[in-house]
Structure 1
Amino acid sequence: AHANENIVEEQLRGSGEETDMRSTAVVLAIDRECRTAAWAHCGDTRLYCFRQGQIHAQTRDHSMVQEMVDARLLLAEEIRHHPRRNVLYAALGTEDQLDIAGSDGTFALLEGDAFLICTDGLWEYNEEAFVGDALASAGTPAAWLDALAARVRATARANHDNYTAVAVWVRGDDLETTVLKPTPRSALV
């Protein structure tokens, strides 16, 4: 809510592109002592939790195409290339009621759990099966993100959306975290 207020404030202060500024977001909170996690999201930035190589949890996009999938008007695999895939029903930067979805309570963490938080610029070019295969062959969170970024660079059309990602692996009492920094569109041309 605070991030939304800040974006709205900047919109009101801005004079150009800032007046239409919006953002999608995912927040992942991990309690190391209790070995639990919880998350919340807004828009089509996604959180995936992989357990034993399979998707165990995934956020649900706040988008027109997700509603079409839910209504059985569109197949889930068609989301990535649908011409209306960027029509969102929720995003930070709105003065209307903000739709933030959260996990139901806390999520018990197990050894080997892997989280991927990523913008649509990454998941659009990485089908879930490929993400799981890349995870299985990666030795580190950085290697996992490198494989996903390489696929985007190899398959994305020129001037496609930028992408950002964070990988978090649960290993023993430690969490390994790697951030794939925002990639500007100019780097993808």
Structure 2
Amino acid sequence: MTPKVEVVLKNTVESLFNAIGEERRSPELLAKLERHGLTWPNVPREVPRAPWNAALRDVAATLFPGDDAETAHFKVGRATMEHLRQTLRGKAQATMARVLGPLRVLEHFRTTLSTGANFSETRITREGERAVALWINETGEQNPGFFAGLLTAAVELTGAQDVQVKLRSTSTTDGVVYAVTWK
């Protein structure tokens, strides 16, 4: 049996390009991304996981050169989610997020991730009224700041305040765990 090729899907790649913004899509950055198979405006249907992670590193380093890698990736993740909420589908999801609330949005994060990549898995463990541990099967190739940015922006969509997403643990075999809290 042939192993499944892990890929990031077109809508996620488009969201990254749109989050970068037209004014920041320099020829140099576009050339870096093209080396990883990410082309604009002819976005590929799918991009293998390793080139996607390398592209995220290039975007974070190029757009936020004065920040450490985790902060830069956080900003890219947040910008990606913020761009998504400007789309028609994203506007509908933002409205629904306010109805569902933080806990249910986090419980459905697995579905959200699976629409953007064929390999993403999550598990949530409730740790209090406004606290969860969220496991994602990322194994260290991707900076955990990216998901922290995505998660922060997703929970903020619900109207929650003082959202905190902290990396609790990371493992090259077991994925990452985030502590997520809100008020």
TM range (shorter): 0.3 to 0.5
Q: Which has the larger radius of gyration?
A: 1
Name the structure with the higher helix share: 2
TM-score, normalised by the number of residues in structure 1: 0.32
TM-score, normalised by the number of residues in structure 2: 0.33
